[in-house]
Structure 1
């Protein structure tokens, strides 16, 4: 099996995150992205749970980690969204990308059953 170029850790308790992961799967025409719920019991990544609950994290095949808007940039780089990559970089440089991402991440909904323990960031 071909090694994935980017592993994205997303929150499967978040409906927005789950929908976004499905969109990313459809955009991943080159099969370069692996989406993994950090809520999976097999989660043994070196990112603390408290950070994973605040924003999306990813890492490449060289184990370089990215978070938040930088993860979105990494996804765009590996998908047909590369055509808007210069715009996404510009949005980051003018400090809008990170701010918008953080606003959405802070205000997203978490849905789980009664057995889970949630502490909002």
Structure 2
């Protein structure tokens, strides 16, 4: 439950990256976009994270730890999270079709295609 609105959390955006640096760069970009709408008492913390503390986040993500930074503006609570990939799908045996998944979110349906 969201402490500010009492509503269930809602996924607003999802971005897949290939490494920790790209993931943290994306979070920094998102925070820069909303920086001046963040509550003034949190603005210094968010600015410090964008400018210097993000390097610790890259290290944590590289070592398999999820990274989360939160901020509040108006009546919305933002939570930006980067999680490492813990497993990859296995390839099928030779001669079998490859199934390609486009996973957009853990709560959405998966779309599959068979490659010949």
Instruction: Select the structure of larger CA radius of gyration.
Output: 2
| TM-score, normalization by structure 1 | 0.31
Question: With CA pairs under 8 Å and 6+ residues apart, which has the higher RCO, 1 or 2?
Answer: 1
Whose strand fraction is larger, Structure 1's or Structure 2's? Answer: 2
Decide which structure has greater helix share: 1
